[in-house]
C-alpha cells in the first residue's frame, strides 16, 4: 500500500511506522490517521512482524493535529474497516487501535510530542524518549477538551494528580521530567534513540510471541478485573502457552543450558 504521510517498513521482525511530514513537525490530518490505521492493520496481519515501533521524521515526533491541511476525504486512503464500520467508526479511535494492537508497540519519541501526537505516544506499550523530547497535552491552550484518548491514557500512566496538572495547564515537560513521573521508561541521547528503541523491539521480537501477546492482553484487561478473576485467567492462558512449540523450546533450552530460539508458535 502506498502511503503519503507516513513511512512503513519491516526489518528483523519489527515494523517501523514513521510519521513523515517533517516540514510540519509531523502534524496529523485525518488522512494521516487513516494511514496509521492501515499500517497498524498491516502489522497485525503480518505473522512476520513481532513488534511495532512508532517514531517521527525530522526534529519532532508529532505536533498534534494539522490545522493547515487542504485535503478532503476524497484524498484520504480507505480505512481498514469493512462495511458500515468503515463509514461510521470515529477517526478519533485510531489511538485505540494502536493501544489494542495485538503486538507489542514502542514509541521512540524525538522532539515535540503534543496534543494528538501525545495521545499516540501514550497509546503505545513502551515509550523511549530522546533528550530533545518534550510533551504537552496542549488542548486546554486551545480552550478545548482533550481528545484521542488522552484523558483515559494519561492517568493510567502517571496517576490522577499529574494527569490533572498536565490536562489543566497544558504545560510542556521535558524528557527527564517525563521519566520522573513515569510517562517514559528511558531517556537517551538523540542520536541513539532509534538504535535503542530498535534494539528493544528486536529483543522483544525474538521472544515467544504467543506468550507475549497474551501477556499484553492480560495486562490491559486486568485493569478492569478483580485479582481472583485475573489469576484464574492467567492460569487458563498459561495452559494454552504450555502447549506451544516455544514453551517446549524454553524447557529444552533451559535443560541444555543455551539460549532459546523461539518461532512464535
Q: What pLDDT score does 121 carry?
A: 98
Q: What is the CA radius of gyration of the chain?
A: 19
Instruction: Categorize the per-residue pLDDT at 70 as very low, low, confident or very high, splitting at 50, 70 and 90.
Output: low
- φ, ψ at 146 (rounded to 5°): -65, 150
Q: What pLDDT score does 73 carry?
A: 65
Q: Does the structure show a pLDDT above 90 at 235?
A: yes
Q: What pLDDT score does 72 carry?
A: 65
Q: What pLDDT score does 74 carry?
A: 66
| Tens of pLDDT, residues 117-144 | 999 999 999 999 999 999 999 999 999 9
Q: Are 125 and 108 in contact (CB under 8 A)?
A: no
The two most distant CA atoms of the chain are separated, in Å, by 62
Between CA 157 and CA 83 the distance in angstroms is: 35
- For 243, the grid coordinates are 502447549
- The angle that helices 209-222 and 227-242 make with each other, rounded to 10 degrees, is 170
Strands 134-136 and 173-174: antiparallel
| Tens of pLDDT, residues 100-120 | 999 999 999 999 999 999 999
In which region does residue 103 sit, left (phi positive, over 0), alpha (psi from -120 to 50) or beta (all else)? beta
Strands 6-11 and 112-114: unpaired
Q: Are 91 and 76 in contact (CB under 8 A)?
A: no
Mean pLDDT over 193-219 rounds to 96
Q: Are 139 and 109 in contact (CB under 8 A)?
A: no
Percent of the chain with pLDDT over 90: 79
Q: What pLDDT score does 15 carry?
A: 97
Q: What pLDDT score does 71 carry?
A: 65
Q: Give the list of residues 6+ apart from residue 68 with CB closer than 8 angstroms, or none.
A: 24, 27
| Tens of pLDDT, residues 76-99 | 778 888 888 777 788 889 999 999
Q: Comparing 30 with 185, which gets the higher pLDDT? A: 185
Q: Give the list of residues 6+ apart from residue 222 with CB closer than 8 angstroms, or none.
A: 230
Amino acid at each position: 500500500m502506498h502511503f503519503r504521510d507516513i513511512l512503513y517498513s519491516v526489518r528483523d521482525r519489527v515494523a517501523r511506522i514513521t510519521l513523515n511530514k517533517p516540514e510540519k513537525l509531523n502534524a496529523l490530518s485525518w488522512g494521516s490517521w487513516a494511514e496509521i490505521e492501515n499500517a497498524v492493520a498491516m502489522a497485525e496481519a503480518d505473522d512476520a512482524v513481532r513488534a511495532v515501533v512508532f517514531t517521527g521524521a525530522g526534529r519532532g515526533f508529532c505536533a498534534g493535529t494539522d490545522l493547515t491541511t487542504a485535503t478532503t476525504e476524497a484524498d484520504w486512503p480507505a480505512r481498514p474497516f469493512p462495511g458500515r464500520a468503515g463509514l461510521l467508526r470515529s477517526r478519533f479511535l485510531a489511538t485505540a487501535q494502536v493501544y489494542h494492537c495485538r503486538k507489542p508497540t514502542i514509541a521512540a519519541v524525538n522532539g515535540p510530542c503534543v496534543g494528538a501526537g501525545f495521545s499516540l505516544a501514550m497509546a503505545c506499550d513502551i515509550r523511549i524518549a530522546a533528550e530533545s523530547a518534550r510533551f504537552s497535552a496542549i488542548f486546554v491552550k486551545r480552550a478545548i477538551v482533550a481528545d484521542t484518548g488522552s484523558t483515559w491514557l494519561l492517568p493510567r500512566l502517571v496517576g490522577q494528580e499529574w494527569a490533572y496538572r498536565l490536562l489543566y495547564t497544558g504545560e510542556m515537560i521535558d524528557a527527564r521530567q517525563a521519566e520522573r513521573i513515569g510517562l517514559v521508561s528511558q531517556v537517551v541521547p538523540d542520536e541513539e534513540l532509534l538504535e535503542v528503541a530498535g534494539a528493544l523491539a528486536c529483543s522483544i521480537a525474538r521472544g515467544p510471541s504467543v506468550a507475549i501477546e497474551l501477556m499484553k492482553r492480560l495486562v490491559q484487561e486486568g485493569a478492569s478485573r478483580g485479582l481472583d478473576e485475573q489469576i484464574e485467567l492467567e492460569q487458563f492462558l498459561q495452559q494454552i502457552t504450555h502447549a506451544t512449540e516455544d514453551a517446549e523450546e524454553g524447557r529444552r533450552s533451559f535443560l541444555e543450558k543455551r539460549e532459546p530460539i523461539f518461532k512464535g508458535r
